[in-house]
A and B are shown apart, each in its own frame.
Chain A
């Protein structure tokens, strides 16, 4: 069978899958009765609702034409997400200042038009600016420097 509305089809499947996962996970929590709702009651209710809503998207998408999913460009997606992960990983060891520098430098790779020199200058500026604003001006308790 041909899928005629790509966007609705996959969107519906995603919601239905999350709904099913919720219902399955909610089984671990006491259901209770309507008068005495347990911790599993409301999530399960929402889970079923989400499955139903997912189906109202997926099923019609087989019969009615609809939108396609716009093309995905992997470069910015992967680089931006990766830069945040790296920031989270190095924060404890490299300290705030260097981590921000790394974050900005890595993140700027997402845009091929930026030259290396521009990226470094930008990262340096952002790291300095962040230290001044968040540490010096706002006085947040940040570990600034590497801790080996």
Chain B
């Protein structure tokens, strides 16, 4: 196949001086901000999104992808050293990672996380290159009804695997879909839900919503918790390089984590979170000798860290080929594509090959940067961690506001930011996670369009969603997912995991 040719073409795009530079900057800034406690990958990507607006589409995506896995890795550093998971996907890393840090083996824990991530990331990139063309080919044959049901499936999948109340998560998706409809309707030219405000004609500021809900609302929520006593284990990092014995012990854990993460990352709602949990659970059952899990076993760091990086890579597959985000970060990247004037979907690969293959190739380069950057810079990250939250939050506040403002240079966007911060805060207080909402926001206009076309072709008969075999399969799969939650066993497992 011409996969090799495509990859070579991709590397040609990715190793241009400009793209290498932005990939490096992305990975560096992503790690830098991801390390700060209380800022997850979503907030990091949202905060840095405006930096990419002046770049061309391929470079922007390369930088954003770099920010994403940088932030992901930064979160693991925080998990290991301070026992605060930057994001839910590094929760399991705290179990053994923090114990290792307390035993004076923070260095090897961070080292194996970086090395495992690199191996997993390289493999994940290969999977993306192999499977994406295949998936895009299939997707090109989809009818509007099939697309609509695919999006239903994607949203349901993301919701079922998310944490917290299922009903609340579904309501958040619907609210997101509705917010996505604000602005000018492309078919009739009618301004919907704009309340006569001209700035809303182009729809809700995607960045204002993301920053409000993931950035500001989170800041307020953290401030409410008061100053928690954080203890950083910095005194004895130990050597960063794991010993030969560590390596031998971890090799299979990394392999298992990588395989599992690569598969789970493709699923809607999969990606990093599910991968790391599943990898840890399996590792505890399979690894021999099983002795010390939960008590500072290095394999308890290697497996979930490999899995979440592999999952992070392969979650690009549905985003790049179908235009369907499997997690909120991918939703942000889709938003970035739309801002760049590119309609996400299977056509991206054929119409913008330099974008698609450039991003794929840059993922591998980015992972290499991550490894090269993190082994020597761990000392710097550790010092960053010692900065108390009271000095950090004004900076987060300032960068969120500037980020939103500089998109349009319009002070009105600040009022959108306030509104969504307040909404995000209220919803957080009511136990609603913001992630499903942002997935809905991105998919709202697309779902309406596909439903409109599907019903136009079928002369208004909604059965078209069931009579098309592909659409039918997606809807059945969605129902199975929903039903699976009702099954007590899985329900218990889901709660136990979270």
Residue positions of A touching B, CB distance < 8 A: 7-8, 10-11, 14-15, 18, 22, 25-26, 29-30, 33-39, 42-43, 46-47, 49-50, 53-54, 56-57, 67, 69-70, 72-73, 76-77, 80-81, 83-85, 87-89, 91-92, 100, 103-104, 107-108, 110-111, 113-114, 118-119, 122-123, 126, 130, 134, 138, 140-142
Contact = CB atoms under 8 A, between A and B. Distances in A.
Given A53-B171, A81-B418, A107 B393 contact: yes
B415 interface: yes
B451 A42 contact: yes
A48 to B, nearest CB: 10
A130 B397 contact: no
A87 B423 CA distance: 19
A138 B455 CA distance: 47
Nearest to B219: A80
Nearest to A140: B406
A34 B223 contact: no
Contacts of B414: 84-85, 87-88, 91
A18 B394 contact: no
B398 A46 contact: no
Contact of A80 (B178, B397, B406): B397
Contacts of B413: 88
11 contacts: A30-B188, A34-B455, A39-B185, A49-B174, A76-B224, A80-B397, A84-B401, A87-B405, A88-B413, A91-B414, A100-B401
> Which 4 A/B pairs are nearest by Cβ-Cβ distance?
A88-B414, A35-B460, A34-B460, A76-B223
Contacts of B455: 34-35, 37
A81 B422 CA distance: 7
Contacts of B174: 15, 46, 49-50, 53
A54 B188 contact: no
B227 interface: yes
Interface stretch (B10-18, B425-433, B486-494): B425-433
Most buried by B among A43, A113, A118, A138: A43
Contacts of B412: 88
Given A108-B394, A140-B406, A84 B223 contact: no
Given A84-B417, A110-B220, 10 more contacts: A11-B431, A15-B174, A37-B456, A42-B181, A53-B167, A53-B174, A103-B398, A104-B397, A110-B393, A119-B394
A35 B167 contact: no
Contacts, number: 176
A103 B397 contact: yes
Contact of A50 (B175, B391, B447): B175
A34 B413 CA distance: 35
Given A30-B188, A33-B460, A107 B171 contact: no
Given A30-B188, A113-B390, A11 B432 contact: yes
B188 A56 contact: no
A125 B193 CA distance: 40
Contacts of B175: 15, 18, 50
A111 B452 CA distance: 50
Interface residues of B, number: 64
A22 B395 contact: no
Given A39-B188, A80-B216, A130-B402, A92 B411 contact: yes
B421 A81 contact: yes
B411 A15 contact: no
B181 A104 contact: no
B430 A10 contact: yes
Given A37-B452, A87-B414, A104-B397, A7 B216 contact: no
Contact of A89 (B171, B391, B411, B451): B411
Nearest to A113: B390
Contacts of B185: 29, 39
Contacts of B216: 80, 84
B394 A104 contact: yes
Given A57-B171, A84-B421, A103-B397, A43 B430 contact: no
Contacts of A29: 185, 188, 190, 192
A111 B220 contact: no
B495 interface: no
Nearest to B448: A42
A18 to B, nearest CB: 6
A75 B414 CA distance: 20
A89 B417 CA distance: 13
Contact of B431 (A36, A67, A123): A67
Contacts of A25: 193
B303 interface: no
